[in-house]
């Protein structure tokens, strides 16, 4: 099954034995939540040194908060490497590092959390309150790393602020700038209103990933390129189902778009828990709609007008009809 993260041991080198964590995709994609990530992280020795490499457009803010808190509880040294972009929820995870390293031409983006809800006014108020609480947690995390005041962080979040390495260093969000890396595209940045031209241009060129290949086995420097004539010894083989950076951008984009559509449909139908099963079974969108309609029809009563409206017949509408019209409107 595809996943957005990988956790594995690195070969011992000059810096001793270290664990490498890769987050090279959208957090929460493919129906994989942070639960598995947290379980694997918790299985590491308490004092294990971690190199966490980020190249992510963000994703589930709730998963990101859980990952941040788990990393902060870890007693071993944590070094964060921003290999391409760390946007949205991914930038918050980066703040958990003891040392944050960012190539000169990489990007960090912070903004207000957002969410999608369909339901009553009370449902929407509850979601707004939850987002306010999450925003408070984000502000605390960014402020703790940068030393900036809460109101300064809140202003940066509201503006959807993109930072290159120099800006991030000046504001205190990172600790060190590394040599530039080759940027290429694989992420959908259309959702962001202030994405830098460099990122937009890279994203418009299919077939290129938006970061360098991760340096994995026994490599101390993030920018050191492997020597094809002297491969690293005992390099672990990759499982056939593992997502690698050799995947084409079109395949990756298609998979992410499908996962996002499935999750959105489930949220709109009030059945977010069904998304994981649909993604595991690789169910098409038409079948997802049909199953959601069936589930909603079975789970909820009809909606009948309490009082007849002048000039309109008092009709009964099932939730299935309501959801069907919503799906048609949303495309």
Per-residue pLDDT tens digits for 142-160 = 999 999 999 999 999 999 9
16 and 78 part of one domain: yes
In a domain? residue 319: yes
In a domain? residue 249: no
205 and 72 part of one domain: yes
Domain residues for the domain of 323 are 263-330
In a domain? residue 258: no
Cβ neighbours, 10 Å, residue 285: 13
208 and 141 part of one domain: yes
pTM value is 0.63
Q: Is the pLDDT of residue 117 over 50?
A: yes
In a domain? residue 74: yes
193 and 292 part of one domain: no
Of 46-55, 151-160, 230-239, 273-282, the range with the lowest mean pLDDT is 230-239
Task: Find the mean pLDDT for residues 313-319.
Answer: 47
Question: Which pLDDT does position 247 carry in this prediction?
Answer: 44
192 and 325 part of one domain: no
43 and 189 part of one domain: yes
Q: Is the pLDDT of residue 293 over 50?
A: yes
Q: First-to-last CA distance in the chain?
A: 28
Kindly give, in sequence order, each residue whose CB lies less than 8 Å from that of residue 180, ignoring residues fewer than 6 positions away.
103, 104, 105
120 and 173 part of one domain: yes
In a domain? residue 81: yes
Specify the higher pLDDT residue, 256 or 124: 124
Decide which of 233, 252, 281 is a domain's last residue. Answer: 233
Distance CA 219, CA 79 (A): 14
Q: Where are the alpha helices (DSSP H) in 185-273?
A: 197-203, 249-268
Question: Which pLDDT does position 244 carry in this prediction?
Answer: 38
Closest-CA residue to 204 (of 223, 184, 179): 184
- Which of 250-259, 281-290, 296-305 is predicted most confidently? 281-290
DSSP 2: -
174 and 313 part of one domain: no
Q: Is the pLDDT of residue 45 over 70?
A: yes
150 and 288 part of one domain: no
Q: Is the pLDDT of residue 32 over 70?
A: yes
Q: Is the pLDDT of residue 194 over 50?
A: yes
In a domain? residue 252: no
How many domains does the structure of the chain reveal? 2
Task: Find the mean pLDDT for residues 119-137.
Answer: 92
Of 76-85, 87-96, 100-109, 234-243, the range with the lowest mean pLDDT is 234-243
Q: 34-42 and 61-73 are packed helices; what angle lies between their axes, rounded to 10 degrees?
A: 10
178 and 323 part of one domain: no
Decide which of 188, 215, 233 is a domain's last residue. Answer: 233
Question: Which pLDDT does position 331 carry in this prediction?
Answer: 47
Specify the higher pLDDT residue, 144 or 275: 144
CATH number for position 216: 3.90.226.10
In a domain? residue 238: no
Decide which of 182, 217, 233 is a domain's last residue. Answer: 233
Question: Which pLDDT does position 204 carry in this prediction?
Answer: 59
In a domain? residue 39: yes
Q: Is the pLDDT of residue 255 over 50?
A: yes
Distance CA 3, CA 190 (A): 22
222 and 267 part of one domain: no
204 and 76 part of one domain: yes
């Amino acid at each position: 099954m595809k996943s957005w993260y990988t956790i594995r041991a690195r070969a011992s080198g000059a810096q001793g034995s270290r664990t490498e964590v890769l987050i090279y995709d959208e957090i929460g994609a493919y129906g994989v939540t942070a639960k598995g990530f947290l379980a694997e992280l918790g299985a590491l020795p308490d004092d294990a040194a971690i190199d966490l490499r980020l190249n992510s457009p963000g994703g589930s803010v709730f998963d990101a908060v859980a990952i941040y808190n788990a990393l902060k509880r870890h007693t071993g040294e944590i070094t964060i490497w921003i290999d391409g972009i760390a946007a949205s929820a991914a930038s918050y995870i980066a703040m958990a590092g003891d040392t944050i390293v960012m190539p000169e031409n990489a990007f960090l983006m912070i903004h207000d959390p957002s969410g999608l809800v369909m339901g009553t006014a009370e449902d929407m108020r509850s979601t707004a309150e939850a987002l306010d609480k999450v925003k408070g947690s984000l502000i605390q995390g960014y402020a703790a790393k940068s030393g900036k005041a809460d109101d300064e962080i809140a202003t940066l979040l509201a503006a959807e602020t993109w930072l290159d390495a120099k800006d991030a260093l000046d504001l205190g969000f990172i600790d060190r700038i590394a040599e530039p890396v080759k940027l290429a595209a694989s992420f959908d940045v259309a959702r962001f209103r202030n994405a830098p031209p460099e990122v937009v241009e890279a994203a418009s060129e299919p077939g290129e990933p938006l970061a360098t290949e991760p340096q994995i086995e026994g490599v101390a420097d993030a920018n050191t390129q492997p020597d094809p004539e002297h491969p690293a010894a005992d390099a672990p083989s990759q499982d056939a189902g593992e997502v690698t950076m050799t995947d084409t951008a079109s395949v990756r984009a298609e998979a992410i778009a499908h996962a996002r559509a499935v999750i959105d449909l489930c949220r709109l139908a009030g059945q977010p828990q069904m998304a994981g099963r649909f993604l595991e079974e690789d169910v098409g969108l038409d079948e997802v709609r049909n199953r959601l309609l069936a589930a909603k029809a079975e789970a909820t009563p009809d909606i009948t007008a309490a009082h007849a409206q002048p000039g309109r017949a008092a009709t009964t509408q099932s939730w299935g009809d309501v959801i069907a019209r919503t799906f048609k409107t949303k495309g």
